[in-house]
Structure 1
Amino acid sequence: MLKRSGAGGTGRGRRGRGRDWGPALPEPLRQRRFLIVWAGQSCSQIGSGLAPITLTLAVLKDSGTASDLGLVLGVMFLCEVVSALPGGVWADRLPRNLLMIGAELVRACAQLTAAVQLISGHPSTAVLLVAAGCTGAASGVFQPAAAGLLQSLVPREQLQQANALMGISQRVAALAGPAAATALTLVIGPGWGLVVDAATFLISAATLAALPVSRVTRARQSFATELAQGWREVRRHRWYWTSLIGHALWNLGRCVFFTVGALVVVNSLGGDFAWGMIAQAGAVGALAGALVALRVRTSRPLVVANVCMALGCLPLALIAMHAPAIVIAVATALMNSALGLSSTLWDATVQQRIPPELISRVDSLGWLLSTAMSPAGMALAGVAAAAVGPGTTLYAAAFLVAGSSLGLLAVRSVRTPDAPDPSPTPKEQPAT
């Protein structure tokens, strides 16, 4: 049940006139600052949903090979990884909305540059690589700042719904983006999806500019010292660092789904159509999970999150058993629905338990540590399948996914509903 808003909320008037529509609207949307940021980020997510497909279609149409595309995407991911730690430190040092505005402007300029190259019909791979690197680096700076900003926009008890609303925007964009990007490419031409993406970054920057500028009152120290403070905060919370290990192993197992799993489905269980159906079912399931997260209330969020993550073993095991493609699609939808819920619960828990002046550094370290094994997993999945067979590899990945999630339930602080609040420290105050 959603709580009725307090003073200033939308409910019955003092004299009892009118109908109470309050419970129909999620509480974070009644917070003006969150509503502004959510609207801007929703717009940005739509553009980001267009960009990967637009880039793929445009580059492959120009060169006819996947090597340039792989290089461009690889550079983007590498730059995001490299900039994540500096981004976390800067986001805890500087006004977060100003840092995010700068990142959005860089991403807009980079996407416009790439769009001009693609629209011209003679794109330079070197220019696309520079644009991709700038986009990735700006994303690495943006994400830790966004985690800290969201923490400051709504009350603690509304963080789960706020994260769910952000997740809904992301999932809707993931569903609509590929079709819209394909339509733009076919009707107008390659590159125009990147123009739309750049425009959405500018809209997001404008919404962030509407927020009051905050200043950090704590004394600034060296970059290495502040990064070390973030690392100490990670180590201080057993529930956090043990979960990061579990998430890293989970991501390692899930890599097999996208590599060996896709290969088995395409070769033996229905071809490209079957894999497309499974992928689309996963996107629908992810949206359903974010919607469920708006309503779910639990006193043990990490327990629920880890049980949900364990459901990721189902598609892997079903592919290994050569189950019908439709059954695998249903299991994939269930997996991604559970993942959408668990991601929301995890983000809200972190934002509730980590102090505001450290949240961005902790978030950047958490992202790096939990995804660090994914590139190796992608590369090694095929090697493992060739050595022991696809079925054995899929079963082993299913065991890893389930075991890494359920094993975390043995950690007492994961099962504990509320961790002790950290000692109070200086917080950001609005600038006067």
Structure 2
Amino acid sequence: MLMARPSWAGRNYLLLTGATVIAGLGSSGALIATAFAVLAAGGTATDVGLVAAARTIPLVLFLLIGGTVADRLPRHRVMVAANALNCASQGLFALLVLTGEPRLWHMAVLAALGGTGQAFFAPAAEGMVLASVSGEQSGRAFAVFRMGMNGANIGGAALGGALVAAVGPGWVLAVDSASFALAGALRAFLDVSEVPARTPGGGLLHDLRDGWREVASRTWLWAVVVQFALVNGLLSAAESVYGPLVAEQHLGGAGPWGLALAAFGAGTVGGALLMTRYQPRRLLLTGTLCVFPLALPSAALAIPLPAAGLAAIMFGTGITVEIFSVTWMMALHQEIPEEKFSRVSSYDWFGSLAMVPVATALAGPAQDLIGRTAALWSCAVLITLLTAAVLCVPDIRRLTRRPPDATTPPPPQSRADNARPTRA
């Protein structure tokens, strides 16, 4: 018997969720396929890193512009255009791999186009799901959305790895291109008739400054953005650089490390499932407390714990980071004016990604300077201290979930009022 559709799962919500699941299935497998495509063409590990960097650099560079564009144009059109760019770039990538030996610069350029598309897509998509639901069920709706997204990422990675081994990376890239086409088609059918028409602002730089004022005028917002700029960098160094090395030398190789990463993914699904039932009143206090466990994987690698212990910690960390993700998005949706949401989101994304390439580049020299164990313990300690510092911000502890009839953000305050918006 089919389950009845929840009352809050309207047409737009279902379209957005379906599109995200489809795109996630394709993209997760494509990340694996890209690396093996580089290796199959005779590339080295350094070449794999260069292609990955070619995607990340334009993603970081264009995020702020993407946010301003999404606040000036209908967001669903920006999302569809970004999906079309990703579809074309991945389709050409697949064609090159299937028909011959692509050169390194070919793959780097196509990866850069994919990163550019993501830079425009991410700020436009942020908050769209919450805008499609209203009232007290919004938290549950977003948690269900996250559960589908995380499940697609896990399933896509597993399926993509199997398909790369069975039919080669070119076909997996072709599937990713098709998934972007289908996701873009679904998003094109979003009903935006009730969304107010956007009036042009005072230019790109004006919109960037306006978005920055929104961020700087809220202490809780910029504090968490700065926190995660550093935390994400530390996590990337620990898990992208040190983790595989520890696994190779102490845990038995890639298999146990893959199991640990899969456990983290399973934990994010569990966390999303939990948030369909749990609706904390103090959004940011709950979310920030759930950031402390992010220090545990680095500590586990520093010891190092056996593979089973590491997997258990990664599973628990996945649960807590998903609780933070849901409470953070709920806070943004509640507090940020809708017409400026994408600009604010772009600064959030920029902060989350800006330090990742720097931290991963410095991970090797740090290991040479103080040793891997000390570097991992340093990651764990710094994550703990950064999170404790954020808890000292009064607005982090005070911001509460407003009742459904009071979800409209307060009007922007002047700089003289400093960064403390009125709280309900």
In the superposition, the TM-score normalised over structure 1's length comes to 0.88
Corresponding residue of 1:262: 244
2:240 is equivalent to residue 252 of structure 1: no
After superposition, residues 355-366 of structure 1 pair within 5 angstroms as 355-366=337-348
Query: For 1:356-389, what per-residue CA distance to the aligned partner results, in whole angstroms no more than 9, with x for missing partners?
Result: 0110000001111233222121122222222222
* CA spacing shift, 1:46–1:261, aligned 2, 3 Å: closer
2:20 is equivalent to residue 41 of structure 1: yes
Query: For 1:323-369, what per-residue CA distance to the aligned partner results, in whole angstroms no more than 9, with x for missing partners?
Result: 22211110111112211121121112111110001100000011112
Higher deviation after alignment, 398-407 or 254-263: 254-263
Corresponding residue of 1:167: 146
Corresponding residue of 2:417: none
Cα distance in 2 between the residues matched to 1:313 and 1:208? 37
Residue in structure 2 matching 1:133, options 103, 112, 133: 112
Corresponding residue of 1:119: 98
Give the deviation of 1:46 after TM superposition. 0.9
Give the deviation of 1:393 after TM superposition. 1.5
Letter of the structure 1 residue corresponding to residue 230 of structure 2 = L
Higher deviation after alignment, 411-420 or 69-78: 411-420
Contact 2:12 2:191 in 1 (8 A): no
Letter of the structure 1 residue corresponding to residue 409 of structure 2 = D
Corresponding residue of 1:276: 258
Cα distance in 2 between the residues matched to 1:307 and 1:88? 29
* CA spacing shift, 1:191–1:88, aligned 2, 3 Å: same
Cα distance in 2 between the residues matched to 1:398 and 1:413? 25
Corresponding residue of 2:296: 314
* CA spacing shift, 1:277–1:225, aligned 2, 3 Å: same
Corresponding residue of 1:290: 272
Cα distance in 1 between the residues matched to 2:129 and 2:157? 28
Residue in structure 1 matching 2:368, options 366, 380, 386: 386
Give the deviation of 1:174 after TM superposition. 2.3
Corresponding residue of 2:357: 375
SS at match of 1:40: helix
Contact 1:266 1:274 in 2 (8 A): no
2:77 is equivalent to residue 88 of structure 1: no
Cα distance in 2 between the residues matched to 1:270 and 1:129? 33
Query: For 1:103-138, what per-residue CA distance to the aligned partner results, in whole angstroms no more than 9, with x for missing partners?
Result: 111111111100000111322333322221211101
Contact 1:108 1:202 in 2 (8 A): yes
Give the deviation of 1:215 after TM superposition. 5.5
State the structure with more CA Rg: 1
* CA spacing shift, 1:27–1:301, aligned 2, 3 Å: farther
Residue in structure 1 matching 2:211, options 223, 227, 230: 230
Higher deviation after alignment, 98-107 or 116-125: 116-125
Give the deviation of 1:191 after TM superposition. 0.7
Cα distance in 2 between the residues matched to 1:414 and 1:95? 32
Corresponding residue of 1:191: 170
2:11 is equivalent to residue 32 of structure 1: yes
SS at match of 1:250: helix
Letter of the structure 1 residue corresponding to residue 267 of structure 2 = G
Cα distance in 2 between the residues matched to 1:402 and 1:184? 40
Give the deviation of 1:72 after TM superposition. 1.8
Contact 1:282 1:332 in 2 (8 A): yes
Corresponding residue of 1:12: none
Q: Pairwise CA RMSD of aligned residues? A: 2.3
Higher deviation after alignment, 293-302 or 179-188: 179-188
Contact 2:82 2:121 in 1 (8 A): yes
Corresponding residue of 1:77: 56
Residue in structure 2 matching 1:341, options 298, 323, 338: 323
Contact 1:111 1:198 in 2 (8 A): yes
Report % sequence identity.
Answer: 32
2:228 is equivalent to residue 240 of structure 1: no
In the superposition, the TM-score normalised over structure 2's length comes to 0.89
Contact 1:278 1:329 in 2 (8 A): yes
Contact 1:156 1:352 in 2 (8 A): no
Cα distance in 1 between the residues matched to 2:45 and 2:244? 18
SS at match of 1:191: helix
Which runs of at least 4 in structure 1 moved beyond 4 Å after TM superposition? none
Contact 1:164 1:291 in 2 (8 A): yes
Higher deviation after alignment, 86-95 or 303-312: 303-312
Corresponding residue of 1:4: none
2:411 is equivalent to residue 423 of structure 1: yes
Contact 2:60 2:353 in 1 (8 A): no
Contact 1:27 1:158 in 2 (8 A): no
SS at match of 1:63: coil
Residue in structure 1 matching 2:188, options 184, 190, 209: 209
Cα distance in 2 between the residues matched to 1:156 and 1:236? 26
2:308 is equivalent to residue 326 of structure 1: yes
